[in-house]
Amino acid sequence: MVSMIGFGAQPQAAPAAPVVWMINTKALGLLGAEPDGAALIAQFFNTPDTYVMAPRDQLSLVPPRAVAVINFPSFSGLRAAFNAGRVDARYGAVLYDCEAWDATPVVEQRDPIHYYGLAAELVHRHGLKLIAAPATTLRKVLLQPTGPDTYPPFMKTGIVGPIAKSADIFEIQSQGLLPQPDKYVDLVRNAASEARAANPNIVFLAGLSTNPSGRAVTAGDLAEAVARTRSIVAGYWLNIPENSVFCKACGEAHPAIAAAFLRQFQKPDTP
């Protein structure tokens, strides 16, 4: 069985911490259809350090050692699900994905710190972990434009630290900057620093995508992003998006890119 101790790890006295992954069942299905997809899933995502987003009717698709995650784009939906007893006992974590889109109520977009705090209280009361993933598009709601469709950088919102303070895992949705590697690294570094200053115990993740908002990237681009940020983060949210109501510009899915990316970090079998 292959094992992975850490992307880009150099020989050292102690092994690097395992990479924490986040992925959804749709992406796992696409990856599993690749020629060696089953082996890649077994190595990288069948681990207790993997968080797999799955609707209730797909919980059987979550690898047995992974943590099942239920995903909500709104606090109102999250609260309603708990109140109605619709959160299956097999879930170990809740993702609250607050974005500047139709799926998140405007009142939540305008005060994400408050609503992430409420989400943390509710989720922790039920013994689950909260994964916070506020989208960088929230800058368009929280900041004044500097020109036509131009806004200050996301970090100017000041929401990362206060949100991280109440969360267990924080994921910065940095994948949109993959075509601009230096900006990608700067965002990840700055967000990680602010999150850890507020919550030293936070598990901090960065975003990766095979086609962020439909823009072309390669397996090499993903590998470069990892090489430049692995010492900063605990792991990554690997997205294999396709055209949907949540990403109208994504186009077709590109699981082959994800597979090629992961192959670069496979470890040989050891006796």
Span 123-150, pLDDT tens digits: 999 999 999 999 999 999 999 999 888 9
- pLDDT digit string, tens, across residues 49-67: 999 999 999 999 999 999 9
Q: What is the pLDDT of residue 269?
A: 56
Residue 45 in contact with residue 53, Cβ under 8 Å? Answer: no
Residue that wins the pLDDT comparison between 4 and 58? 58
Segment (H or E) for 125: helix 112-125
Residue with tokens 């469709």, as numbered in its chain: 149
- pLDDT digit string, tens, across residues 181-237: 999 999 999 999 999 999 999 999 999 999 997 788 999 999 999 999 999 999 999
CATH architecture of the domain covering 23-263: Alpha-Beta Barrel (3.20)
Residue 135 in contact with residue 98, Cβ under 8 Å? Answer: yes
Task: Give, in order, the Cα–Cα distances in Å from 128 to each of 92, 95, 120.
Answer: 5, 10, 9
Between CA 113 and CA 130 the distance in angstroms is: 14
The predicted model gives 16-33 an average pLDDT of 95
> Is pLDDT at 254 greater than 90 in this prediction?
yes
Q: Could you tell me whether strands 169-172 and 50-53 are parallel, antiparallel, or unpaired per DSSP bridges? A: unpaired
Q: What is the pLDDT of residue 243?
A: 66
Q: What is the pLDDT of residue 242?
A: 79
Report the sign of the C-alpha dihedral through residues 8, 264, 37, 212, in that order: positive
List % helix, strand, coil for the chain (3-state, nearest 5).
40, 15, 40
SS3 76: helix
Q: What is the pLDDT of residue 192?
A: 98
- pLDDT grade for 99, boundaries at 50, 70 and 90: very high
Between CA 232 and CA 185 the distance in angstroms is: 9
- Domain coordinates in residue numbering, the chain: 23-263
Q: What is the pLDDT of residue 4?
A: 42
Tell me which residue of 154, 155, 254 sits closest to 209, measured CA to CA: 254
Structure tokens at 119: 């989400």
Residue 82 in contact with residue 70, Cβ under 8 Å? Answer: no
Between CA 208 and CA 20 the distance in angstroms is: 13
**Max Cα–Cα distance, the chain, nearest Å:** 60
Q: What is the pLDDT of residue 213?
A: 76
Residue 59 in contact with residue 41, Cβ under 8 Å? Answer: no
> Is pLDDT at 271 greater than 50 in this prediction?
no
> Is pLDDT at 255 greater than 70 in this prediction?
yes
Nearest 5°: the CA angle 208, 213, 214 is 105
In the predicted model, what is the mean pLDDT of the chain? 91
- pLDDT grade for 9, boundaries at 50, 70 and 90: very low
> Is pLDDT at 14 greater than 70 in this prediction?
no
Residues in CB range of 60: below 8 A, 6 or more apart: none
Q: What is the pLDDT of residue 249?
A: 66
Residue with tokens 């099942």, as numbered in its chain: 68
- For the chain, what percent of residues have pLDDT higher than 90? 83
Residue 237 in contact with residue 23, Cβ under 8 Å? Answer: yes
Residue 249 in contact with residue 31, Cβ under 8 Å? Answer: no
Structure tokens at 206: 């960065």
